[in-house]
Chain A
Amino acid sequence: MPTPTKHRILELLDYVKDPEIPAINVLELGVVRGVEVEESGKAIVTITPTYTGCPAMDVMAADIKKELLEAGVPAVEVRLSLSPAWTTDWITDEGKRKLKQYGIAPPEKTADIRALKGEQPVVACPQCGSTNTVLLSLFGSTACKALWKCQDCLEPFDQFKCL
Protein backbone atom coordinates (compact mmCIF):
# COMPACT_ATOMS: atom_id res chain seq x y z
CA MET A 1 0.00 0.00 0.00
CA PRO A 2 1.33 3.47 -0.83
CA THR A 3 1.81 5.92 2.02
CA PRO A 4 -1.69 6.51 3.40
CA THR A 5 -2.97 10.06 3.34
CA LYS A 6 -4.33 11.83 6.38
CA HIS A 7 -7.68 11.84 4.63
CA ARG A 8 -7.57 8.05 4.32
CA ILE A 9 -6.71 7.66 8.02
CA LEU A 10 -9.68 9.82 8.97
CA GLU A 11 -11.91 7.71 6.70
CA LEU A 12 -10.74 4.59 8.51
CA LEU A 13 -11.28 6.15 11.95
CA ASP A 14 -14.89 6.58 10.94
CA TYR A 15 -15.24 2.82 11.46
CA VAL A 16 -13.86 2.80 15.01
CA LYS A 17 -16.80 2.88 17.40
CA ASP A 18 -16.94 3.87 21.03
CA PRO A 19 -16.83 0.40 22.68
CA GLU A 20 -19.35 1.44 25.33
CA ILE A 21 -21.67 3.42 23.06
CA PRO A 22 -21.32 1.65 19.70
CA ALA A 23 -23.76 4.11 18.13
CA ILE A 24 -21.05 6.72 17.57
CA ASN A 25 -17.47 6.61 16.36
CA VAL A 26 -14.32 8.12 17.85
CA LEU A 27 -14.43 11.14 15.53
CA GLU A 28 -18.00 11.98 16.45
CA LEU A 29 -17.11 11.56 20.13
CA GLY A 30 -14.38 14.16 19.69
CA VAL A 31 -11.60 12.13 21.30
CA VAL A 32 -9.33 12.19 18.24
CA ARG A 33 -7.22 15.32 18.66
CA GLY A 34 -4.71 14.86 15.88
CA VAL A 35 -3.68 12.66 12.98
CA GLU A 36 -0.22 12.74 11.46
CA VAL A 37 1.31 10.58 8.80
CA GLU A 38 5.10 10.26 8.72
CA GLU A 39 7.05 9.79 5.52
CA SER A 40 7.53 6.12 6.33
CA GLY A 41 3.76 5.75 6.26
CA LYS A 42 3.50 5.45 10.04
CA ALA A 43 0.31 7.01 11.35
CA ILE A 44 0.28 8.82 14.70
CA VAL A 45 -3.17 9.27 16.18
CA THR A 46 -3.51 11.43 19.30
CA ILE A 47 -6.53 10.78 21.48
CA THR A 48 -7.72 12.33 24.72
CA PRO A 49 -9.65 10.53 27.48
CA THR A 50 -13.29 11.47 28.02
CA TYR A 51 -13.22 10.62 31.72
CA THR A 52 -9.99 10.12 33.66
CA GLY A 53 -10.87 6.59 34.66
CA CYS A 54 -12.76 5.63 31.52
CA PRO A 55 -11.93 1.95 30.91
CA ALA A 56 -12.98 2.32 27.27
CA MET A 57 -9.86 4.36 26.45
CA ASP A 58 -7.54 1.35 26.33
CA VAL A 59 -10.03 -0.50 24.14
CA MET A 60 -10.39 2.53 21.86
CA ALA A 61 -6.63 2.80 21.42
CA ALA A 62 -6.42 -0.92 20.61
CA ASP A 63 -9.36 -0.67 18.19
CA ILE A 64 -7.78 2.26 16.37
CA LYS A 65 -4.53 0.32 15.96
CA LYS A 66 -6.34 -2.78 14.75
CA GLU A 67 -8.52 -0.91 12.24
CA LEU A 68 -5.60 0.96 10.68
CA LEU A 69 -3.19 -1.98 10.61
CA GLU A 70 -5.80 -4.24 9.02
CA ALA A 71 -6.41 -1.63 6.35
CA GLY A 72 -2.73 -1.82 5.44
CA VAL A 73 -1.25 1.17 7.27
CA PRO A 74 2.33 0.00 7.86
CA ALA A 75 2.71 1.26 11.43
CA VAL A 76 0.44 2.93 13.94
CA GLU A 77 1.09 4.77 17.16
CA VAL A 78 -1.69 5.96 19.45
CA ARG A 79 -0.71 8.78 21.79
CA LEU A 80 -2.65 9.94 24.81
CA SER A 81 -2.91 13.64 25.57
CA LEU A 82 -4.53 15.07 28.72
CA SER A 83 -4.54 18.76 27.89
CA PRO A 84 -6.67 20.51 26.76
CA ALA A 85 -9.19 18.44 28.69
CA TRP A 86 -11.97 16.83 26.68
CA THR A 87 -15.34 18.52 26.78
CA THR A 88 -18.73 17.31 25.64
CA ASP A 89 -18.76 20.33 23.31
CA TRP A 90 -16.40 18.30 21.11
CA ILE A 91 -19.09 15.74 20.37
CA THR A 92 -20.16 16.61 16.84
CA ASP A 93 -23.75 17.51 15.94
CA GLU A 94 -23.97 14.27 14.01
CA GLY A 95 -22.70 12.45 17.11
CA LYS A 96 -25.36 14.11 19.26
CA ARG A 97 -28.07 13.17 16.79
CA LYS A 98 -26.93 9.53 16.86
CA LEU A 99 -26.77 9.48 20.66
CA LYS A 100 -30.36 10.65 20.84
CA GLN A 101 -31.44 8.06 18.31
CA TYR A 102 -29.67 5.43 20.40
CA GLY A 103 -31.72 6.48 23.45
CA ILE A 104 -29.12 8.58 25.23
CA ALA A 105 -29.92 12.23 25.87
CA PRO A 106 -27.01 14.21 24.40
CA PRO A 107 -25.14 16.71 26.61
CA GLU A 108 -26.17 20.33 26.57
CA LYS A 109 -23.57 22.95 25.62
CA THR A 110 -21.25 23.98 28.47
CA ALA A 111 -21.86 27.55 27.40
CA ASP A 112 -25.46 27.05 28.53
CA ILE A 113 -26.07 29.69 31.19
CA ARG A 114 -27.61 27.08 33.49
CA ALA A 115 -24.50 24.93 33.29
CA LEU A 116 -22.31 27.94 34.03
CA LYS A 117 -24.30 28.70 37.14
CA GLY A 118 -24.12 25.08 38.22
CA GLU A 119 -27.87 24.65 37.95
CA GLN A 120 -29.68 21.55 36.84
CA PRO A 121 -29.87 21.42 33.01
CA VAL A 122 -33.16 20.95 31.16
CA VAL A 123 -32.92 17.50 29.62
CA ALA A 124 -35.37 16.29 27.02
CA CYS A 125 -36.43 12.63 27.06
CA PRO A 126 -34.84 10.90 24.06
CA GLN A 127 -37.94 8.68 23.69
CA CYS A 128 -40.82 11.17 23.69
CA GLY A 129 -39.11 14.57 23.71
CA SER A 130 -40.78 15.75 26.91
CA THR A 131 -38.76 18.08 29.13
CA ASN A 132 -40.74 16.98 32.17
CA THR A 133 -37.82 14.88 33.41
CA VAL A 134 -36.08 14.24 36.74
CA LEU A 135 -32.51 13.32 37.63
CA LEU A 136 -32.43 9.92 39.36
CA SER A 137 -28.68 9.68 39.90
CA LEU A 138 -25.62 11.71 38.94
CA PHE A 139 -23.90 8.47 37.97
CA GLY A 140 -25.16 6.13 35.28
CA SER A 141 -24.20 2.92 33.51
CA THR A 142 -20.81 4.31 32.44
CA ALA A 143 -18.55 7.05 33.80
CA CYS A 144 -19.85 9.55 31.26
CA LYS A 145 -23.56 9.18 31.91
CA ALA A 146 -26.20 10.21 34.44
CA LEU A 147 -29.51 8.45 35.02
CA TRP A 148 -32.77 10.32 34.36
CA LYS A 149 -36.44 9.49 34.24
CA CYS A 150 -39.17 10.93 32.05
CA GLN A 151 -42.28 11.93 34.04
CA ASP A 152 -44.48 11.74 30.97
CA CYS A 153 -43.62 8.46 29.25
CA LEU A 154 -42.18 7.10 32.54
CA GLU A 155 -39.13 5.64 30.79
CA PRO A 156 -35.77 5.86 32.54
CA PHE A 157 -32.95 6.99 30.27
CA ASP A 158 -29.23 7.76 30.22
CA GLN A 159 -27.95 11.28 29.72
CA PHE A 160 -24.46 12.10 28.51
CA LYS A 161 -23.12 14.29 31.35
CA CYS A 162 -22.01 17.73 30.37
CA LEU A 163 -18.28 18.25 30.93
Chain B
Amino acid sequence: MSNALFTYTLRLADDLLILSQRLGEWCGHGPVLEEDIALTNRALDHLGEARNLLTYAGQVEGKGPASAKATAGPRSEDDLAYLRLERQFTNVKLVEQPNGDYAHTIVRSFLFDAYHLPLMQALTKSSDAQLAAIAGKSVKEATYHLRHSSEWLIRFGDGTEESHQRAQAALDNLWTYTGELFESDAVLEEMTKAGIAPDIAAIREAWSKTMDQVLSEATLKRPADAFMMTGGRKGLHSEHMGFILAEMQHVTRAFPGVEW
Protein backbone atom coordinates (compact mmCIF):
# COMPACT_ATOMS: atom_id res chain seq x y z
CA MET B 1 0.00 0.00 0.00
CA SER B 2 2.61 2.55 1.04
CA ASN B 3 4.69 1.66 -2.03
CA ALA B 4 1.76 2.35 -4.34
CA LEU B 5 0.95 5.58 -2.50
CA PHE B 6 4.57 6.69 -2.85
CA THR B 7 4.56 5.94 -6.59
CA TYR B 8 1.20 7.62 -7.11
CA THR B 9 2.20 10.78 -5.22
CA LEU B 10 5.48 10.91 -7.09
CA ARG B 11 3.66 10.76 -10.44
CA LEU B 12 1.47 13.69 -9.47
CA ALA B 13 4.55 15.61 -8.35
CA ASP B 14 6.74 14.83 -11.38
CA ASP B 15 4.16 16.07 -13.91
CA LEU B 16 4.08 19.43 -12.14
CA LEU B 17 7.81 19.68 -11.48
CA ILE B 18 8.78 19.11 -15.11
CA LEU B 19 6.03 21.35 -16.52
CA SER B 20 7.16 24.04 -14.11
CA GLN B 21 10.74 23.69 -15.31
CA ARG B 22 9.60 24.01 -18.93
CA LEU B 23 7.45 27.08 -18.26
CA GLY B 24 10.30 28.65 -16.31
CA GLU B 25 12.36 28.62 -19.52
CA TRP B 26 10.10 31.40 -20.77
CA CYS B 27 11.25 33.72 -17.98
CA GLY B 28 12.53 36.87 -19.66
CA HIS B 29 11.54 35.57 -23.12
CA GLY B 30 7.75 35.98 -23.08
CA PRO B 31 6.12 37.45 -26.20
CA VAL B 32 4.65 40.31 -24.15
CA LEU B 33 5.37 41.39 -20.60
CA GLU B 34 2.01 40.19 -19.24
CA GLU B 35 2.54 36.71 -20.64
CA ASP B 36 6.11 36.54 -19.39
CA ILE B 37 4.72 37.22 -15.92
CA ALA B 38 1.78 34.85 -16.41
CA LEU B 39 3.97 31.90 -17.38
CA THR B 40 6.41 32.39 -14.54
CA ASN B 41 3.46 32.74 -12.14
CA ARG B 42 2.11 29.45 -13.41
CA ALA B 43 5.53 27.83 -13.12
CA LEU B 44 5.64 28.98 -9.51
CA ASP B 45 2.17 27.54 -8.79
CA HIS B 46 3.14 24.20 -10.31
CA LEU B 47 6.42 24.18 -8.41
CA GLY B 48 4.67 24.93 -5.11
CA GLU B 49 2.29 22.03 -5.63
CA ALA B 50 5.16 19.77 -6.69
CA ARG B 51 7.07 20.69 -3.51
CA ASN B 52 4.11 19.76 -1.31
CA LEU B 53 3.71 16.46 -3.14
CA LEU B 54 7.42 15.59 -3.12
CA THR B 55 7.64 16.34 0.60
CA TYR B 56 4.68 14.06 1.18
CA ALA B 57 6.08 11.33 -1.09
CA GLY B 58 9.27 11.39 0.98
CA GLN B 59 7.28 11.02 4.20
CA VAL B 60 5.24 8.14 2.79
CA GLU B 61 8.40 6.37 1.64
CA GLY B 62 10.01 6.94 5.03
CA LYS B 63 7.19 5.04 6.72
CA GLY B 64 7.53 2.07 4.37
CA PRO B 65 9.46 -1.15 5.09
CA ALA B 66 13.16 -0.49 5.64
CA SER B 67 14.12 -2.96 2.90
CA ALA B 68 12.27 -0.89 0.28
CA LYS B 69 14.08 2.31 1.12
CA ALA B 70 16.83 3.61 -1.09
CA THR B 71 18.50 5.74 1.57
CA ALA B 72 18.83 5.73 5.32
CA GLY B 73 16.51 8.60 6.26
CA PRO B 74 13.31 9.75 4.57
CA ARG B 75 14.09 11.60 1.35
CA SER B 76 13.37 15.33 1.27
CA GLU B 77 11.72 17.27 -1.57
CA ASP B 78 15.20 18.31 -2.70
CA ASP B 79 16.53 14.74 -2.68
CA LEU B 80 13.63 13.64 -4.85
CA ALA B 81 13.87 16.57 -7.26
CA TYR B 82 17.62 16.83 -7.63
CA LEU B 83 19.04 13.40 -6.95
CA ARG B 84 16.94 11.05 -9.03
CA LEU B 85 17.99 9.81 -12.46
CA GLU B 86 15.96 10.10 -15.65
CA ARG B 87 14.57 6.57 -15.38
CA GLN B 88 13.28 7.33 -11.89
CA PHE B 89 11.10 10.24 -13.03
CA THR B 90 7.52 9.21 -13.69
CA ASN B 91 6.00 12.26 -15.41
CA VAL B 92 4.04 11.94 -18.63
CA LYS B 93 5.91 12.77 -21.83
CA LEU B 94 3.53 15.64 -22.59
CA VAL B 95 5.03 17.96 -19.97
CA GLU B 96 8.62 17.44 -21.12
CA GLN B 97 7.92 18.47 -24.72
CA PRO B 98 9.80 21.61 -25.80
CA ASN B 99 8.19 25.02 -25.55
CA GLY B 100 8.27 25.51 -29.35
CA ASP B 101 6.33 28.57 -30.48
CA TYR B 102 3.79 30.17 -28.18
CA ALA B 103 1.00 28.04 -29.62
CA HIS B 104 2.88 24.90 -28.57
CA THR B 105 3.42 26.23 -25.06
CA ILE B 106 -0.25 27.18 -24.70
CA VAL B 107 -1.59 23.94 -26.20
CA ARG B 108 0.70 21.83 -23.98
CA SER B 109 -0.61 23.64 -20.91
CA PHE B 110 -4.20 23.52 -22.13
CA LEU B 111 -4.07 19.74 -22.61
CA PHE B 112 -2.58 19.36 -19.14
CA ASP B 113 -4.78 21.94 -17.35
CA ALA B 114 -7.98 20.34 -18.65
CA TYR B 115 -6.80 17.10 -16.98
CA HIS B 116 -5.28 18.66 -13.87
CA LEU B 117 -8.35 20.67 -12.79
CA PRO B 118 -10.89 17.79 -12.66
CA LEU B 119 -8.19 15.60 -11.11
CA MET B 120 -7.60 18.09 -8.31
CA GLN B 121 -11.34 18.60 -7.83
CA ALA B 122 -11.80 14.87 -7.41
CA LEU B 123 -8.71 14.49 -5.22
CA THR B 124 -10.18 16.87 -2.64
CA LYS B 125 -12.44 13.91 -1.77
CA SER B 126 -9.52 11.48 -1.49
CA SER B 127 -9.47 9.16 1.50
CA ASP B 128 -5.86 10.27 1.99
CA ALA B 129 -6.09 13.42 4.11
CA GLN B 130 -2.80 14.96 2.99
CA LEU B 131 -3.47 14.50 -0.74
CA ALA B 132 -6.94 15.95 -0.19
CA ALA B 133 -5.44 18.99 1.57
CA ILE B 134 -2.86 19.56 -1.18
CA ALA B 135 -5.59 19.24 -3.82
CA GLY B 136 -7.86 21.63 -1.92
CA LYS B 137 -5.12 24.21 -2.14
CA SER B 138 -4.29 23.54 -5.80
CA VAL B 139 -7.81 23.43 -7.17
CA LYS B 140 -8.21 27.19 -6.86
CA GLU B 141 -5.04 27.86 -8.80
CA ALA B 142 -5.80 25.16 -11.38
CA THR B 143 -9.03 27.01 -12.20
CA TYR B 144 -7.03 30.09 -13.17
CA HIS B 145 -4.59 28.01 -15.18
CA LEU B 146 -7.27 26.40 -17.34
CA ARG B 147 -8.91 29.77 -17.89
CA HIS B 148 -5.60 31.28 -18.97
CA SER B 149 -4.69 28.56 -21.47
CA SER B 150 -8.26 28.27 -22.81
CA GLU B 151 -8.51 32.00 -23.46
CA TRP B 152 -5.25 32.08 -25.39
CA LEU B 153 -6.15 29.00 -27.39
CA ILE B 154 -9.47 30.58 -28.39
CA ARG B 155 -7.67 33.78 -29.33
CA PHE B 156 -5.17 31.85 -31.47
CA GLY B 157 -7.67 29.52 -33.09
CA ASP B 158 -10.21 32.23 -33.80
CA GLY B 159 -7.55 34.83 -34.61
CA THR B 160 -5.58 35.35 -37.79
CA GLU B 161 -4.97 32.74 -40.44
CA GLU B 162 -1.43 32.22 -39.20
CA SER B 163 -2.32 31.97 -35.51
CA HIS B 164 -5.05 29.48 -36.39
CA GLN B 165 -2.69 27.36 -38.44
CA ARG B 166 -0.02 27.38 -35.72
CA ALA B 167 -2.51 26.46 -33.00
CA GLN B 168 -3.85 23.59 -35.10
CA ALA B 169 -0.32 22.38 -35.82
CA ALA B 170 0.55 22.41 -32.11
CA LEU B 171 -2.64 20.53 -31.30
CA ASP B 172 -1.94 17.91 -33.98
CA ASN B 173 1.65 17.52 -32.76
CA LEU B 174 0.86 17.19 -29.07
CA TRP B 175 -2.34 15.15 -29.25
CA THR B 176 -0.37 11.91 -29.39
CA TYR B 177 0.89 12.63 -25.85
CA THR B 178 -2.56 12.86 -24.26
CA GLY B 179 -3.31 9.13 -24.02
CA GLU B 180 -0.75 8.75 -21.28
CA LEU B 181 -2.66 11.06 -18.94
CA PHE B 182 -5.43 8.49 -18.63
CA GLU B 183 -3.44 5.26 -18.56
CA SER B 184 -4.19 2.82 -15.80
CA ASP B 185 -1.96 0.20 -14.21
CA ALA B 186 -1.69 -1.84 -11.00
CA VAL B 187 -0.61 1.20 -8.94
CA LEU B 188 -3.53 3.34 -10.05
CA GLU B 189 -6.00 0.48 -9.65
CA GLU B 190 -4.82 -0.10 -6.09
CA MET B 191 -5.09 3.61 -5.29
CA THR B 192 -8.55 3.88 -6.83
CA LYS B 193 -9.74 0.84 -4.93
CA ALA B 194 -8.50 2.39 -1.68
CA GLY B 195 -10.45 5.58 -2.45
CA ILE B 196 -7.20 7.56 -2.64
CA ALA B 197 -7.16 8.19 -6.40
CA PRO B 198 -10.31 9.15 -8.32
CA ASP B 199 -11.71 7.06 -11.14
CA ILE B 200 -9.54 8.00 -14.12
CA ALA B 201 -12.37 7.34 -16.59
CA ALA B 202 -14.39 10.15 -15.02
CA ILE B 203 -11.40 12.51 -15.30
CA ARG B 204 -11.09 11.59 -18.97
CA GLU B 205 -14.75 12.36 -19.52
CA ALA B 206 -14.40 15.82 -17.97
CA TRP B 207 -11.23 16.42 -20.01
CA SER B 208 -12.92 15.37 -23.21
CA LYS B 209 -15.83 17.73 -22.55
CA THR B 210 -13.45 20.66 -22.06
CA MET B 211 -11.68 19.71 -25.30
CA ASP B 212 -14.92 19.81 -27.28
CA GLN B 213 -16.11 23.05 -25.72
CA VAL B 214 -12.92 25.06 -26.04
CA LEU B 215 -11.79 23.65 -29.40
CA SER B 216 -15.14 24.38 -31.00
CA GLU B 217 -15.06 27.94 -29.68
CA ALA B 218 -11.51 28.24 -30.98
CA THR B 219 -12.67 26.89 -34.39
CA LEU B 220 -9.97 24.22 -34.13
CA LYS B 221 -10.35 20.62 -35.22
CA ARG B 222 -10.08 17.97 -32.52
CA PRO B 223 -7.50 15.45 -33.77
CA ALA B 224 -8.55 11.82 -34.05
CA ASP B 225 -7.28 9.45 -31.36
CA ALA B 226 -4.64 7.44 -33.18
CA PHE B 227 -1.29 6.18 -31.93
CA MET B 228 -0.64 7.35 -28.38
CA MET B 229 2.79 7.76 -26.80
CA THR B 230 3.44 5.83 -23.62
CA GLY B 231 6.24 5.01 -21.17
CA GLY B 232 6.61 8.12 -19.02
CA ARG B 233 5.00 6.56 -15.96
CA LYS B 234 7.55 3.74 -16.19
CA GLY B 235 10.46 6.15 -16.49
CA LEU B 236 10.87 5.84 -20.25
CA HIS B 237 11.10 9.38 -21.55
CA SER B 238 11.57 11.28 -24.78
CA GLU B 239 15.01 12.56 -25.82
CA HIS B 240 14.27 15.94 -24.21
CA MET B 241 14.13 14.70 -20.65
CA GLY B 242 17.87 14.32 -20.13
CA PHE B 243 18.47 17.94 -21.11
CA ILE B 244 15.79 19.18 -18.71
CA LEU B 245 17.32 17.26 -15.83
CA ALA B 246 20.84 18.34 -16.76
CA GLU B 247 19.79 21.95 -16.43
CA MET B 248 17.60 21.43 -13.36
CA GLN B 249 20.10 19.31 -11.43
CA HIS B 250 23.51 20.55 -12.46
CA VAL B 251 24.16 22.84 -9.47
CA THR B 252 23.26 20.13 -6.95
CA ARG B 253 25.29 17.58 -8.90
CA ALA B 254 28.32 19.83 -9.21
CA PHE B 255 28.29 20.88 -5.54
CA PRO B 256 26.91 17.97 -3.50
CA GLY B 257 25.14 19.08 -0.34
CA VAL B 258 25.06 22.73 -1.41
CA GLU B 259 22.37 24.93 0.13
CA TRP B 260 21.10 28.26 -1.15
Interface positions of A (Cβ within 8 A of B): 49, 51-55, 82-86, 118, 136-141, 143, 147, 161, 163
Contact = CB atoms under 8 A, between A and B. Distances in A.
B136 A53 contact: no
B47 A140 contact: no
A52 B136 contact: no
Interface residues of B, number: 28
Contacts of B133: 82-83, 85
Given A52-B138, A118-B143, A140-B37, 20 more contacts: A51-B44, A51-B45, A51-B141, A52-B48, A52-B52, A53-B44, A54-B44, A83-B136, A84-B136, A85-B133, A86-B137, A138-B147, A139-B34, A139-B38, A139-B41, A139-B144, A139-B148, A143-B44, A147-B34, A163-B140
Given A85-B137, A138-B147, A54 B37 contact: no
B141 A85 contact: no
A84 B48 CA distance: 17
A137 B141 contact: no
B148 A138 contact: yes
A135 to B, nearest CB: 10
A139 B48 contact: no
Contacts of B141: 51-52
Contact of B134 (A53, A82, A140, A143): A82
A139 B37 contact: yes
B46 to A, nearest CB: 7
B144 A161 contact: yes
Contacts of B41: 139-140, 143
B49 interface: yes
Nearest to A144: B41
B44, B138, B148, most chain A CB atoms within 10 A: B44
Interface in B126-156: 129-130, 132-134, 136-138, 140-141, 143-144, 147-148
Interface in B12-58: 34-35, 37-38, 41-42, 44-49, 51-52
A137 B37 contact: yes
B259 to A, nearest CB: 13
A52 B49 contact: yes
A161 to B, nearest CB: 7
B120 to A, nearest CB: 11
B81 to A, nearest CB: 14
4 closest A-B pairs by beta carbon, nearest first, are A53-B48, A52-B48, A83-B133, A137-B34
A54 B45 CA distance: 8
Nearest to A141: B37
Contacts of A83: 129, 132-133, 136-137
B78 to A, nearest CB: 14
Nearest to A161: B144
A147 B35 CA distance: 11
Contacts of B147: 138
Contacts of B44: 51, 53-55, 143
A139 to B, nearest CB: 4
A163 B139 CA distance: 10
